[in-house]
Each structure stands twice: as structure tokens, then as C-alpha cells.
A and B are shown apart, each in its own frame.
Chain A
Amino acid sequence: MPVEVLIKTVFILIVVVAALAPVITWIERKQSAVMQDRIGANRADVGGITLLGLLHPFADVVKLLSKEDVVPEGANRIMHLVAPVIAAVPAVVAYAVIPFGGVYDFGGEPLSLVVANPDWGLLYIFAIGAIATYGTVIAGWSSNNNWSLLGGMRASAQMISYEVTMGLSVVGIFMVFGTLQLQDMAQAQDTTFRVFGFLEYLGLHLPPWLGRFPFVLPAWGIFLQPLSFILFLTTIMAENKRPPFDMPEGESEIIAGYHLEYSGMRFGLFFMSEFIEVVVIAGLVATLFLGGWTIPWISQEAFIGAVAPIFGVGFATGLCLVVHFASFMVKVIVMIWLQMALRWTLPRFRYDQVMDLCWKIILPLSIANIFVTGAVMLLVRGQP
């Protein structure tokens, strides 16, 4: 059992986090270049080979590692050194509860492709995210710089505000799937539902012109809880404090905010933790709202049932595992692309706009969503 967990941990760290995070820095540069009609990173080369600028992440790492590690005068040395680590560790460990594949029966103990599946699943990610706040706040405070301090203060207020709404915005998802465990949520989405099926529960009949279309959708969170999807994506992007929510950095107002006094690889840790969080957000949103590893319209039994008569059950299960993982990665990459596109489309909000959005728009909408979800569930299922 520990060996299995170790293999899964190493797999997720290498394939999902360590491979994607540096590539994302390249994607961000290239995508922003395309969106702004520029060429983008293309200069780093080894013997004339540039690989479309893919060597830039390696050049960045070499540069960051070889720069001087400065601790400013009058700073609190220990906290200044520890802050980047507090910021980076939660981003890396959050992937432990995100499933990258389903549960497969190869004979013997079923293989579940998630590192850990505790019964408090999603709460684990929220708790880990709460700890990440300290990295930013302590970095801002310990640098002995007023701009940094302002950045740290903005970060603390922004992140606790959005933590509240982030939790409330996904309560509807908890109610629909009846669990907090992400693997169970993904499995609950491995099915379909008829869009107008609820009319029959109410004793109504479909109008004939509607009845001709099947309107069968995968039972994904985004279709069952569309409002929750928008609210959760907004709040979790604000929690990651990337533009348009990058108040703690705000170059034009407070220079670079909380990481102003950091240099070399310690700055690199803040930088990387932001990009790793982009991957975590993509995985989390894909699991909660886009069905995780499931293939739309084709459930796991249907897939294995279709392939098994030709190639045998063992091969069918293995193929299913590979296709499910590919499906998960496609969704993750789509969500990463969406975050990048939003980041380069929207300008930075003003600080009061960010707070108004959180407390005056998202919070009431999340609470309304919970009530409406409860009422609909009561009507459709007849009992809570």
C-alpha cells in the first residue's frame, strides 16, 4: 500500500506538477504574445536550436538559481527566508486529493488513481489554501518595506474574504453529489441526465417540439450547477491573486507588493507557486465541474463493455485507464488555457471593486444558489 501511494505521488508530481508548471510559463508568454500581436519568447537557444522558445523556462531557472539571495536590512531574517516555502508547499501538496483517473478492477484490490481520498476531501484543499495565505502575508511583513507591507495587508484581506465565498460557492456541488470526496464526485459525474427530465417529476409533459430532441448531457457539475461554476472559478482565481485580482502585487501602485524585496530562487518560489496553483485550480475545477477523468456520454462500464469482447477485460480496463487519464489532462489543459486567456484579457480591478465583488455580489449569489439547489432537490427527489 505505501509503495502504491509513493508511485502515485511521484507520478502526479512529475507528470502533472513538475512538467506542466514550467511549460505554463512558456504558454503564458506565447499566448500573451499571440493575443497582443507580438512574437514572444524565442531567443534562448542551445547551439541555434530554440524549440519555439521552449528553452526559456530552463534559462529562467539557471538565472534565478545563480542570482544573489538578498535579505534586506532591518528585515526579520527567519521569516523572510521561510515565507516563500510557506507559499510554495501548499500549492504542491493540494494535488494529493485530486483524482487523475477512476477506480479500476484488475483482479485483487481495486486501483484508485488518487493519492489520498480522505472523507473530508475538498475541505483538505480549503484548509491547505488557508495556510498558503501566510506565505504572502509574512513575506510582506518581514521585508521591512512599506510597499511590501501594503501588499501583505491587501493579500490578507483579499484572501480571507474570498476563502469565505469560495467555500459557500461550492456547497451546491456538495448537495448535488452528496459527498466531499473528489473521487466519489468524479464517479457521480460518470453518467448522463436528460435536460428536461425534471418536468416529468413535476407531472408535466414535454411539448412535442422539445420531445423530439434527446437533450442528454453528461451529469457534469457545470450543467447541474452553472452558477456555482462561475462563482467558484472567480473566487479561486482571486484566491490565487493572479491578474485581474493581483492587488497584492499591483506593479503600478505598490511596485511589486509582497515579493518586492525577494530575489533569486526565493522570488522564483513565489513565481512557481502561482503557476503550480494554476495547475491545481485547473485540476480542481475539472474534477468538480467538468467530470474529472470521465469521458462525456460514455460511462466506464459502457467503455469496458464495448472493448472487452474484442480484446479481453484486462486490456479493456487498461485502455479505459489510459483514455480516462488523457480525458483528465485535456480538461486540465483547457482550464489552464481559460485562466491564461482571462489573465491577458481583463485589466486589474480596483481594490474596492474586488471587495465589492466578493461581499456584495458573489456572497449573496452563493447563498441564493444554495437555497435554490435545496428547493429543486426537494421537488425532484421528493425528500432532502
Chain B
Amino acid sequence: MTFPAFLFYTFAALAVLSAVAMLMNVRNTVAAAMSLVITMVALAGIYVLLEAHLVAAIQIMVYAGAIVVLFLFVVMLLNLRSDDFAPPRQRLVKLVGALLGVFVMSELLRAFGGLPEFRPPPEGFGGYRQVGIALYTDYVLLVEVSSLLLTAAIVGALILAKRKID
């Protein structure tokens, strides 16, 4: 096994195990959130191995660094303890989860056969230059539309917050 392959399997195992740990800790919200962080960081490691450096940095900065910290902030604000949660409705959740799992697994197994031949990525692939050029030439309309969406979300949040104060 080459060193990159070893790293890949390490990160992959870490991602899967911490994702499982998140589900196991569903009543201890902080532990679940920290498991989610480990999953995010492990995925970022895999992105680095795939030469997608910018995506890896954003994965850590946005998902691990901002979104999960906000989760934790809310959890702390409400100061939830594990006994605040009623036992979840087990039957239905488990059934839906199992069905989804079987579906994803079968799709993955099906996809294994049709994997394309490996080609090394072109020079500078996944760097901030390539991503930036792609975003502001080919996908500029989508970038503008999503910025409009975000502005609308900010304005909406402001209105909701203001109404409470007034």
C-alpha cells in the first residue's frame, strides 16, 4: 500500500467511524457535534489527497469552523442536557434509515463497475485560481443568483430580529 493510499484509508475510516459516533451520541448533542467536526476534517483530508486544496480549506473553514460552532452555540444557549430529550420514535426512524442505507449501498456497489479510467489532473487543478476563473466566467450567473439569495436571507433575518425588539 502506498503512503497516499494509507492516508486515504485512514481518513475514510475516521470519517465513517465519527459519522457513526455522531448517530450513537444523538442524545448528547455536544458530543454529536464534535463527532460531526471530526467527519468534516477527515473529509477535508480526503479532498487534499484529491488535489482539491481550495475545497479542503473551505470545508474546514466553513463547515468545521463556522457551521458546527453555530450548532454548539445554540446547544449551549439552550443548555440542553441528555435527559431533556424524550426517547425518539424508534420504529419508523429505524425503518426509514435502514431503507436509505440499503439504497445508498446498492447505488455505491452499482457505481463501482462503471468507474472511469484514472487520469492525473491538469496542472493547478483545484487551486484557487482555477476555481475562481470557473466561478466568474462559466458559472457567473449562478454565483450572482446565490449572492442574491444570501442577501434576501440576511434581510429576512434582520426583519425577524427587529420585529421582536420593536
Give chain A nearest CB distance to B128 CB in angstroms: 6
Contact mask for chain B residues 38-79; partner A; CB cutoff 8 A; 1 contact, 0 none: 000100100000000110111011001110011011001101
**Which residues in window 30-84 of A have CB below 8 A to B?**
76, 79
Contacts of A156 in B (CB 8 A): 69-70, 72-73, 76
B69: chain A residues at CB < 8 Å are 130, 133-134, 137, 156, 159-160
Known: A126-B57, A127-B65. A119 touches B31 (CB 8 A): no
| Inter-subunit contact B37/A153 (CB<8 Å) | no
Assess whether A149 is interfacial by the CB under 8 Å rule: yes
Residues of A within 8 A of B22 (CB): none
CB distance from B143 to the nearest CB of A (A): 16
CB within 8 Å of A: which B61-100 residues: 61, 64-66, 69-70, 72-73, 76-77, 79
Q: Does B30 contact A (CB under 8 A)?
A: yes
Q: Are A149 and B79 in contact (CB under 8 A)?
A: yes
Q: Does A257 contact B (CB under 8 A)?
A: no
> Contact: A157 with B73, CB < 8 Å?
yes
Cα separation A195 to B99 with both chains bound (whole Å): 68
Partner of B60, one of A79, A127, A167: A127
Flag A131-155 by CB within 8 Å of B: 1 or 0 each. 1011001101110000001001100
Does B127 touch A at the CB level, under 8 Å?
Answer: yes
Q: What is the CA–CA distance of A153 and B72 in the complex, to the nearest angstrom?
A: 8
CB pair B54–A123 under 8 Å, yes or no, is yes
B residues in contact with A160, CB < 8 Å: 65-66, 69-70, 73
Determine the residue in chain A with the shortest Cβ distance to B124. A119
Given contacts A120-B54, A141-B76, contact A79 B64 (CB under 8 A): no
Partner of B127, one of A79, A119, A134, A164: A119
B60 touches A149 (CB 8 A): no
Contact B60 A130 (CB under 8 A): yes
Contact A131–B76 (Cβ < 8 Å): no
Which chain A residues lie closer than 8 Å to B65 at the CB level?
A: 126-127, 129-131, 133, 160, 163
Q: Convert B4-30 into 0s and 1s, putting 1 for each residue whose CB lies closer than 8 angstroms to a CB of A.
A: 000000000000000000000000001
Residues of B within 8 A of A159 (CB): 69
Judge whether B34 and A79 touch: CB under 8 Å.
Answer: yes
CA distance A137 to B30 in the complex (A): 10
* Interface presence of A118 (CB below 8 A): yes
**Number of A-B contacts defined by CB within 8 Å:** 81
Contacting residues, chain B, for A138 (C-beta < 8 A): 30, 34
State whether the Cβ of A271 lies closer than 8 Å to any Cβ in chain B.
no
- Report B-chain residues with C-beta under 8 Å of the C-beta of A124: 57
Give the shortest distance, in Å, between B125 (CB) and chain A (any CB): 11
> Nearest chain B CB to A360's CB is how many angstroms away?
13
Inter-chain contacts of B124 with A (CB < 8 A): 119
Residues of A within 8 A of B57 (CB): 120, 123-124, 126-127
Q: Are A163 and B76 in contact (CB under 8 A)?
A: no
Given A119-B53, A160-B66, answer yes or no on A131-B41 (Cβ-Cβ < 8 Å): yes
Contact of A141 among B60, B64, B72, B127 (CB under 8 A): B72
Given contacts A79-B31, A130-B60, contact A163 B66 (CB under 8 A): yes
- Given A120-B127, A137-B72, A163-B66, answer yes or no on A126-B34 (Cβ-Cβ < 8 Å): no
Give A142 to B31 CA distance when docked, in angstroms: 10
| A-B contacts besides A79-B34, A141-B30, 16 pairs, CB < 8 Å | A76-B31, A119-B124, A120-B56, A120-B128, A127-B65, A130-B66, A130-B69, A131-B41, A131-B65, A134-B34, A137-B73, A140-B76, A152-B76, A159-B69, A160-B66, A163-B65
Contacts from B to A (Cβ < 8 Å): 30-31, 34, 37, 41, 44, 53-54, 56-58, 60-61, 64-66, 69-70, 72-73, 76-77, 79, 124, 127-128
Sample (7) of A-B pairs whose CB atoms are under 8 Å apart: A79-B30, A79-B34, A120-B56, A126-B65, A127-B60, A130-B66, A149-B79
